[in-house]
Structure 1
Amino acid sequence: MNATADNRLIRPATEGDLDALFDICLKTADGGTDGSAFFSDKRLPGYVWSVPYFKFEPECAFVLVENGRTIGYVLGAPDTARFEETLEQHWWPDIRRMIADMTPKLRDDAKAFHRINHPERTPQWLLADYPAHLHINILPGAQSSGWGRRMIDTVLDALAKAGAPGVHLGLHPQNERAKGFYSHLGFEDISRDGHVLFARRLDR
């Protein structure tokens, strides 16, 4: 277990957190707010942005728990290129079969289907210095509590121990609060090609 205070703690994710990983991902899928109204299959966001990290990089998967309830997660992959190849071989084929007969009905269905069927590969220029990446989400009612920084520190430590020299993450273009948050944590704005990207070295 990690830091505890205010009836909250950060601990490694377990199989018992899978439903929460799906749920938190859904309820933060609309730029950090609830995306439940925009996906006909409520697990679609989790298939892309949360559950595969626990499945394939469990040593870099942590959850924030409050009074026994999982209310947030931070997930990382120390080698993004390897992670993307692992998903192509061992994750996406099953998910593609699961959604094969589904048709887009709600606003973000088509976007999720595209991410599953045609996942983007991270460009080499980004991986050269920042091969790791991370995702963090906390339920809207529990945000701005100071725990986000502790969660980031936890996953950065795990990524560094796994040998990653640097880490990157992508942000929603309009998420100014997140930009300030990561800048305060020592991340540098390296946005390029229309993507909002922040990165930080881990070997200094």
Structure 2
Amino acid sequence: MVEIRPFQPYDLPGMYRVCLQTGDSGKDATSLYHDPDLLAHIYAGPYPVADPELSFVAVDQQGVLGYIIATADTLAFEHWMEEHWWPGLRARYPRGMAANPADGTQDWWCVQRIHDARPTPDELYDRYPAHLHIDVLPRGQGAGVGRQLMKTLLDALRVRRVPGVHLGVGAGNPGAFAFYQAMGFSVIRPDSWGSTMARPILDV
């Protein structure tokens, strides 16, 4: 049995593991990182700290097997990150660690992202101010867990009267792309790395 429930602080280690084990376009990225927490410091950790009411987990007897996390206001979240999240990580991971060792690992890219991230206005946020990340381990895929997580989050955003939500999906993850299409998302900005997809919330 899988339970979908609101995030609790003790879920964070499990969420970090899920982030890493799905971090290579849905596949296990453990071999790509010397520091197993680095990827999740960017893509998982800040969301439940900034707004825990928009973070939900899927849990079975083995622990956290998936999550969905979001912010209702992307630009405000980026400003929060600049003030509260990035400074500590920039101190922990100096910019000198952003040199590419050319050994296939990706720690350097994450360090570069930590130092280069800045709040950036985008006209996309007018219609789709929220954004989300969703990750589910293989043992939870194909059983409707992702769909339940997405519905739970969309309901929470609807209560807040958020007009729309967007996300990014890499070109190397066609399964995720098909899932987002099935959940009502469509491509609004293709790019070399993949696509930005979005869907309205209040008028659906």
TM-score when normalising by structure 1: 0.91
In structure 2, the partner of 1:4 is none
Question: Is 2:20–2:28's contact at 8 Å kept on the other side of the alignment?
Answer: yes
SS at match of 1:89: helix
In structure 2, the partner of 1:152 is 150
Deviation of the 1:100 alpha carbon: 1.8
Which shifted more, 103-112 or 71-80? 103-112
Deviation of the 1:141 alpha carbon: 2.8
In structure 2, the partner of 1:133 is 131
Deviation of the 1:139 alpha carbon: 1.2
Deviation of the 1:170 alpha carbon: 0.2
Deviation of the 1:68 alpha carbon: 5.8
Question: Is 1:76–1:159's contact at 8 Å kept on the other side of the alignment?
Answer: no
1:23-172 alignment, distance < 5 Å: 23-67=17-61, 69-100=63-94, 103=97, 107-119=105-117, 121=119, 123-172=121-170
Deviation of the 1:153 alpha carbon: 0.5
Per-residue deviation, residues 64-111 of structure 1 (Å, max 9, x unmatched):
001261111100100000001000000000111111287355521121
CA distance, structure 1, for counterparts of residue 69 and residue 152 of structure 2:
10
Q: In structure 2, do the counterparts of structure 1 residues 115 and 148 end up closer, same or farther at CA, with 3 Å as the change threshold?
A: same
Deviation of the 1:61 alpha carbon: 0.3
CA distance, structure 2, for counterparts of residue 35 and residue 111 of structure 1:
14
CA distance, structure 2, for counterparts of residue 111 and residue 33 of structure 1:
18
Identity of aligned residues (%): 36
In structure 1, the partner of 2:195 is 196
- What 5-or-longer segments of structure 1 have no aligned partner? 1-6
Which shifted more, 122-131 or 163-172? 122-131
* Aligned residue type for 2:201: L
RMSD over aligned Cα atoms: 1.7
Question: Is 1:75–1:136's contact at 8 Å kept on the other side of the alignment?
Answer: yes
Deviation of the 1:33 alpha carbon: 0.9
- What 5-or-longer segments of structure 2 have no aligned partner? none
TM-score when normalising by structure 2: 0.91
* Aligned residue type for 2:197: F
CA distance, structure 1, for counterparts of residue 55 and residue 195 of structure 2:
23
CA distance, structure 1, for counterparts of residue 81 and residue 40 of structure 2:
14
SS at match of 1:91: helix
CA distance, structure 1, for counterparts of residue 184 and residue 113 of structure 2:
30
Question: Is 1:12–1:61's contact at 8 Å kept on the other side of the alignment?
Answer: yes
Which shifted more, 143-152 or 75-84? 143-152
Question: Is 1:78–1:163's contact at 8 Å kept on the other side of the alignment?
Answer: no
In structure 1, the partner of 2:176 is 178
